[in-house]
Amino acid sequence: MPSFHCTFIYAFNDHGMRQELWRDLSLLNTQGPWILCGDFNCVMVVDERIGCPVRHAEIVDINNCMHLCGMEDVKCVGNLYTWNNKQQGHDRVFSKLDRVLANQSWKGCYPTTEVCFMPEGQFDHSPGLLTIYPRIGGGRKPFKYFTMWKSSPVFNDTIQAASNTQVSGSKMFMLVSKLKSVKIALKDLNKSGFSDV
């Protein structure tokens, strides 16, 4: 697992006092895998609050900082609004104050990172569960042609049948489609006659 930086955030409620946090994060800006998690105490877009208007001044500084640091939200499931004031009726306010953001280097190393914000229960904030799955090396096995396949008694028939599939389109499209058919047929031959080398 590659090394990474993780910064936990608990931002001030006061807009002016958050300025120092944005300055510190901008100075800390790293090119390696970096993730920010926590309570930012402000929204990033107008749609992230219900019950109280969002002023443009509230969102400018956090967005500038996150842009400068190359941060974007990771995939989020569960509660969209991670905080509410527990008031009743028209006085109730919902906001997305808690989030997890990562830079491109992080997303390259941990592309399946996901945060789940669960029901808040008795608290005013939703707890977040961060799941990190590192990229699994290897992936699908690339196609390779093995000369030994020619020794199979069904090799010529396999190639002939796969390349005789009817395809319409441009000559290049027909060629690519037939090559894909041959590749699939050869993979099947490899599994059945050559122990899936």
Q: What Å distances lie between residue 38 and 32, 78, 79, 127, CA to CA?
A: 20, 16, 15, 10
Q: Assess whether 111 and 164 both reside in one domain.
A: no
Q: Assess whether 115 and 84 both reside in one domain.
A: yes
Q: Assess whether 127 and 152 both reside in one domain.
A: no
Last residue of a domain, one of 131, 164, 180: 131
Residue 197 has pLDDT above 60, yes or no: no
- 39: its two tokens: 């309570």
Q: Assess whether 17 and 83 both reside in one domain.
A: yes
Q: Assess whether 37 and 100 both reside in one domain.
A: yes
Q: Say whether 47 sits in a helix, a strand or coil.
A: helix
In this prediction, what percent of the chain has a pLDDT beyond 90? 61
| Helix (DSSP H) and strand (DSSP E) numbers for the chain | 5, 10
Work out the mean pLDDT of the chain and round it to a whole number. 90
Domain presence at residue 19: yes
Residue 139 has pLDDT above 70, yes or no: no
Q: Assess whether 33 and 122 both reside in one domain.
A: yes
Q: Assess whether 115 and 188 both reside in one domain.
A: no
Q: Which domain holds residue 52?
A: 5-131
Q: Is the pTM of this model over 0.85?
A: no
Residue 23 has pLDDT above 60, yes or no: yes
Q: Assess whether 68 and 36 both reside in one domain.
A: yes
DSSP 105-173: HHHHH-TT-EEEEPP-TTSSB--EEEE--PPPSS-SPPP---GGGGGSTTHHHHHHHHHT----S-HHH
CATH code, domain with 67: 3.60.10.10
Domain presence at residue 137: no
Q: Assess whether 112 and 153 both reside in one domain.
A: no
Domain presence at residue 97: yes
Q: What is the pLDDT of residues 59-110, one digit of tens each?
A: 999 999 999 999 999 999 999 999 999 999 999 999 999 999 999 999 999 9
Residue 191 binned pLDDT confidence (cut-offs 50, 70, 90): confident
DSSP 11: -
Q: Assess whether 127 and 66 both reside in one domain.
A: yes
Residue 35 and residue 113 in contact, taking contact as beta carbons nearer than 8 Å? yes
Question: How many Cβ atoms are within 10 Å of 47's Cβ, its own excluded?
Answer: 10
What lies within 8 Å, CB to CB, of 89 at 6+ separation is: none
Count how many Cα atoms sit within 13 Å of the Cα of residue 50 in the half-sphere of its side chain: 11
Last residue of a domain, one of 79, 99, 131: 131
Domain presence at residue 188: yes
Domain presence at residue 136: no
Q: How many structural domains does the chain have?
A: 2
Q: Assess whether 161 and 124 both reside in one domain.
A: no
Q: Assess whether 104 and 167 both reside in one domain.
A: no
